[in-house]
Homo-oligomer: A and B are copies of this chain.
Amino acid sequence: MAEQRIGAVEAGGTKFVLAVADAGGQIIDRARIDTRTPAETFPEMAAFFARHAPLAGIGIASFGPIDINPASPGYGTFTTTPKPGWSGARFHDALAGLGAPILVDTDVNGAALGEWLAGAGKGCETLAYTTVGTGIGTGVLHQGLSRGGIGHLEAGHIRPARDPQRDPFAGRCPFHGDCLEGLASGPAIIDRWGVPLDEAAKSHPDAIPLVASYLADLAVTLVLLHMPDRLIFGGGVMKTPGLLESLRARTEARLAGYVVHPRLDPGLATYITAPALGDDAGITGAIALGQRALREGRG
């Protein structure tokens, strides 16, 4: 019998990363395709996997909002995404022809799983992975399983404390205006200063402290509401030099010594960290989901 193969998809708003791995998770083949409409992107995705059929399990870490409840009839279906054409699109329909069990989770949960297995989250019982980019989202894993409820977490939409004197920008979230994503995502930074954060910092000395202050509200909230072993902050905005350090300092100041645990080291230098896998976290997590689909036989 041939080696069992795993399919994996990291589905983002601009690109899909596809991979086929052996049962041990070693990548055999990978590809990158543009995210267009489901009618264009899904067949291209399916064709890639068809070349490696049969697959024994498929794992998907996707942008959302998407139904990630395996017990739901809509499992794997995009729900209210504003991305044209994607509401109602379903991974299972596109991949049903392959006959493999499929597990679907969010992009941030997938990245969290990748970092937990092979990156900066190894050994953590409770891990929070946040991405700060086009959007802001957090995946929380406990013992390797993502936390959620009637849907996946939406941590990017908490409302940070805002001082209009310091920051007159009203925010750009179409639902909430000045929620965290409305104030501190990449597009919010461009809207406010006209340039990315590293550029803005050259002419606005408060730019990095301001964004760090908003993100610290999320970090503190994650600590108080999930008590993770570690917080990983990744995504394009977090690559801005000095931002991670500023986030650590503000988070520590806000916590004010209230949460006492050896994991919260002085300066939070090991408590709040960058991802270790860089751009490979998502596909690593998707492969792990595919391996889990194989073990559990879920479809």
Which residues of chain B are within 8 angstroms of A223 by Cβ–Cβ distance?
Answer: 154
Which residues of chain B are within 8 angstroms of A2 by Cβ–Cβ distance?
Answer: none
A149 touches B126 (CB 8 A): yes
Give the contacting residue for A256; candidates B175, B254, B257; CB below 8 A: B175
Which residues of chain B are within 8 angstroms of A140 by Cβ–Cβ distance?
Answer: 225
Q: How far is the CB of A186 from chain B (nearest CB, A)?
A: 20
A260 touches B79 (CB 8 A): yes
Which residues of chain B are within 8 angstroms of A80 by Cβ–Cβ distance?
Answer: 260
A226 touches B147 (CB 8 A): yes
Indicate whether A147 sits within 8 Å of B142 (C-beta atoms), given known contacts A175-B256, A176-B258, A222-B225: yes
Q: How far is the CB of A144 from chain B (nearest CB, A)?
A: 14
Q: Most chain-B CB neighbours within 10 Å: which of A150, A176, A227?
A: A150
Which residues of chain B are within 8 angstroms of A217 by Cβ–Cβ distance?
Answer: 159
Q: List 19 A-B contacts (CB under 8 A).
A: A79-B260, A125-B149, A125-B150, A126-B148, A126-B149, A140-B225, A142-B149, A147-B226, A149-B226, A149-B228, A154-B223, A154-B227, A155-B224, A159-B217, A161-B162, A175-B256, A175-B257, A175-B258, A221-B225
